[in-house]
Amino acid sequence: MKEVGYECKIKSSTRSRSGAQKVVVENCAGNRNIAQLQVSPGGGRHGSQPYVKISTTDQGIIKIATGSEASYLTDGMETATIIFTEG
């Protein structure tokens, strides 16, 4: 990300029970629409599936989860677009 102009800091997620880490973008603007990336190893509030969460300034939140929709835990308030890899 640094190669294309993003200034980033790596931080621990404050809401994670699984030890998720996040990359916070300090300068999202213009053609840089990614505000944050979070990598979760799984085992937290969404179940055992690892996932990557991408927060954007123009597309909202997108999650890419390893596994199936049936094994993903949610409280029913999920607003992210979730892509399941089944595998």
Could you give the CA distance from residue 20 to residue 61 in angstroms, rounded to a whole number? 16
Predicted TM-score of the model (pTM): 0.78
CB atoms within 10 A of CB 28: 19
Q: How far apart, in Å, do the first and last CA atoms of the chain sit?
A: 26
Per-residue pLDDT of the chain (87 residues; tens, 9 = 90+): 888 888 899 988 877 677 788 888 888 777 778 899 998 888 777 778 899 999 999 999 999 999 889 888 888 888 999 999 985
